[in-house]
Structure 1
Amino acid sequence: MTQNHTTQLTDPLTLPCGVVLKNRIAKSAMSDSLGDGTGAPTEAQITLYETWARGGLALSIIGEVQGDPMAAEKPGNLVLWQDTVGDGFRDLAAAGAARGAHLWLQLGHAGAMTHPPIGVPKGPSTLDLPGLTCEALTQAEILQLPSQFAETARLAKDLGFGGVELHAAHGFLLSQFLSPLFNTRTDNYGGSIENRMRLTLEAVKAVRDAVGPAFPVGIKLNATDQLEGGLSQEDALAVVEALDGTSIDLIDISGGTYFPGAPSASDAAGKGPYFLEFAQSARALTDRPLMLTGGFKSFDQVQDALSRGVDMIGLARALVLQPDLPKAWLSGDTAAPTFPRFANPPEGGVTAWYSMRLTELAEGRALSGPECLPDAVAAYNARDAKRAVLWNARFR
């Protein structure tokens, strides 16, 4: 299925469902942690996604929108189910669609990484590791998951969002099922990669059945867990090949996990895209549009990836530093944003800094520099603690 690509950043992308994205730049999903602590959007979050839409990109994806409040990654996540639908979600959908952009919700379930103060960690198998313990899901609970994803997707469509993305990367639930390191089940959801990908494929089908043929459905997939004994590239490519036989509209390639102690791809010191070689291997197995996320820091890197068979470029931290970067690049100004350097950051510290920088951006406040890392980590943790109280009062 290898094709000759001469794609430019300004070219529109027509998805298999027929929807057209106006160019090749996406804001990939991040845990922006801008919910109000009860699963609802805030005015700051609405402002942020409108800012990104007006900055020239074609697509934004909101990270970790939960269909089950007892399986959330953080108390700043959004929760979309019948009891939480309100005008805030409609306002968010409209703001993210400014200037012809699309705003998709990433359908999340933290599984074993559910934040214990606000939920019950459950994954494919029982885990008892330093900093991470969880129960195993029963088969009955697993069988309910595709319909849960489907209901969240249906609500997203009804509220005016442009599409959805299933989260099967970074060590969240579907990623946990794909990884032999965390999935040691002996039933038809464990063992071979065909069994380990079963839940992911069932979720894709259920979501498509719920939203119909003309609504975009994407998936974020790990190229590697970056952990010994985790998902191999061979198995990840088998998942890509299987997805080629589904109705998926966009395969978003990333990698790494957020399990305690695991290396984070987003904190890597590399000078280029992290998973470009994998994306080229995937290109030979599928004609489905491929999005590549992680490590892009310059216009030349972006254009090189587009020339190698990638269809969509996922930017995250670059758009925190410069929200109107797409407009600049699309107009011919190819200067790159300046990425901060951090000296010996604690685990999760860089992510906390970017999350708090997002908050400053969304609220129109002065933007902090890298020297504020300790203050950002303290503010990030204090905010989560306050929101956990609100979350439990709302959902428990």
Structure 2
Amino acid sequence: MTSLADPLAFTHGPAWANRFALAPLTNTQSHADGTLSDDEHHWLEARGRGGFGLVMTAAAYVAPAGQAWAGQLGIASDDHLPGLARLAEALRATGAASAVQLHHGGRRADPAVSGRPNQCPWDEPAKGAVAMTTGEVEQMVADFVAAAVRAERAGFDGVQVHGAHGYLIGQFLDGRHNQRTDGYGGSFDDRFRVVQEVLEGIRAATGPDFQLGLRLTPEGSGITLEEGRETARRVMASGLLDHLDMSLWDVFMGSRFGAEGLLIEHFTDLPREGTRLGVAGKVVSATDARWCLEQGADFVSVGTGAILHHDFAARAVADPDFRVRERPVPREVLREEKVGPAFIDYLAAGWDDLVA
């Protein structure tokens, strides 16, 4: 039986010390130009000291047009490198593996923040989005690859491509709306093409010790569970990925669209071909995390638990009965856990039960 304390080895890059990854949590702590702030640095470094096998940044935009919120981290320019390099060095000193999550908002970007029109696979006037040209799609693929190279230069152990939650990569997978006729839309094979090209490009442009991950949504945002499962099967069979992180909203939930069984069960039975499979969603105790491994996951990504306890991973490894503190919690408690003021304000505005 796999233990939460067991190291996790990969085809590329370092083994993780245990089965816990820090989820890529939006925290709105970066500077206006996308450079890393001290508050964001301290938030992430504390999770490395807190025992997470992998510490991953929040979604970092790979191109200015992809910025989706104020305070978002950037990896779109060499101007972003100094802060990222300082963070990578600090995380290595904690013993954690490190990764940057690569992101483009697409139709969910914010022109008021980015100063640029929204990009999308299709025309969507309500979002101010105009269908990307084929050349713009090719440039977007190049932007993801360039951002991965930048992360490697900064000293990170890897990257994770954000293909979940209806952002640009996921928008190409949307079977309801993406009916492009240039080879990047219509059939499932063509809608999948962007995912394939981004992963192939990153793998070709980075070294043999650089880890590559992908985050996917199982269903929703125009993705059926059948196609979500096929996407996961293909990427794991490709030999390109070190890890696939399925963002399940709640690891204990079933399909919202009538499929039988739990969502987790539709992915843990797939052949992995060396890819490590992770799951995320409302894991708030050591018991929850062990259950995920018992279902067949290789690792667990933790979000809320890592906000409430910088050392969630170390506590869960050491104490089989560990569970997060009761919510809501006072701001002072969050400050002690190295959650910065901007992050606390974001949590207070968007999460009903977290900040007292």
Structure 1 residues 11 and 183, CA gap change in structure 2 (3 angstroms): same
**Residue of structure 2 equivalent to 1:171:** 166
Consecutive unaligned residues of structure 2, counting only runs of 5 or more, are 256-260
1:213 aligns with 2:208: yes
- Give 3-state SS (helix, strand or coil) of 1:8's partner: coil
Q: What code does the residue aligned with 2:234 have?
A: A
Matches within 5 A, 1:180-329: 180-225=175-220, 227=221, 230-243=222-235, 244-255=237-248, 265=249, 272=252, 277-287=262-272, 288-329=275-316
Structure 1 residues 254 and 180, CA gap change in structure 2 (3 angstroms): same
Q: Contact (CA 8 Å) 1:250, 1:289: kept in 2 or not?
A: yes
**Residue of structure 2 equivalent to 1:123:** 120
Render the CA deviation track for 1:366-387: whole Å, top value 9, x for unaligned.
Answer: x9799x946999xxxxxxxxxx
Q: Contact (CA 8 Å) 2:40, 2:340: kept in 1 or not?
A: no
- Give 3-state SS (helix, strand or coil) of 1:21's partner: coil
Structure 1 residues 274 and 38, CA gap change in structure 2 (3 angstroms): farther
Partners of 1:32 and 1:277 lie apart in 2 by 29
Render the CA deviation track for 1:103-142: whole Å, top value 9, x for unaligned.
Answer: 200011111111120232111111134xx33111111111
1:105 aligns with 2:100: yes
**Residue of structure 2 equivalent to 1:392:** none
1:22 aligns with 2:22: no
TM-score (ref. length: structure 1) = 0.79
Following superposition, the deviation at residue 218 of structure 1 comes to: 0.2
Following superposition, the deviation at residue 238 of structure 1 comes to: 1.1
Q: Contact (CA 8 Å) 1:64, 1:73: kept in 2 or not?
A: no
- Give 3-state SS (helix, strand or coil) of 1:154's partner: helix
Partners of 2:157 and 2:225 lie apart in 1 by 31
Following superposition, the deviation at residue 241 of structure 1 comes to: 1.7
Following superposition, the deviation at residue 364 of structure 1 comes to: 6.5
Render the CA deviation track for 1:181-220: whole Å, top value 9, x for unaligned.
Answer: 3423233111121111100110000001111222100000
- Give 3-state SS (helix, strand or coil) of 1:197's partner: helix
Structure 1 residues 279 and 98, CA gap change in structure 2 (3 angstroms): farther
**Residue of structure 2 equivalent to 1:362:** 338
Partners of 1:150 and 1:369 lie apart in 2 by 33
* Sequence identity (%): 25
Matched pairs, number = 341
- Give 3-state SS (helix, strand or coil) of 2:98's partner: strand
Structure 1 residues 357 and 169, CA gap change in structure 2 (3 angstroms): farther
Q: Contact (CA 8 Å) 1:38, 1:75: kept in 2 or not?
A: no
1:61 aligns with 2:56: yes
Partners of 1:358 and 1:206 lie apart in 2 by 39
Following superposition, the deviation at residue 242 of structure 1 comes to: 1.3
Q: Which moved more, 1:295-304 or 1:204-213?
A: 295-304
Q: What code does the residue aligned with 1:54 have?
A: R
Q: 2:156 aligns with which of 161, 186, 190?
A: 161
Q: Contact (CA 8 Å) 2:310, 2:337: kept in 1 or not?
A: no
**Residue of structure 1 equivalent to 2:319:** 332
Following superposition, the deviation at residue 282 of structure 1 comes to: 2.3
Q: Contact (CA 8 Å) 2:309, 2:337: kept in 1 or not?
A: no
Partners of 1:234 and 1:76 lie apart in 2 by 36
Partners of 1:374 and 1:72 lie apart in 2 by 20
1:140 aligns with 2:135: yes
Structure 1 residues 35 and 183, CA gap change in structure 2 (3 angstroms): same
- Give 3-state SS (helix, strand or coil) of 2:278's partner: strand
Q: Contact (CA 8 Å) 1:280, 1:310: kept in 2 or not?
A: no
Partners of 1:81 and 1:136 lie apart in 2 by 22
Structure 1 residues 375 and 289, CA gap change in structure 2 (3 angstroms): closer
Partners of 1:280 and 1:245 lie apart in 2 by 21
Following superposition, the deviation at residue 271 of structure 1 comes to: 8.6
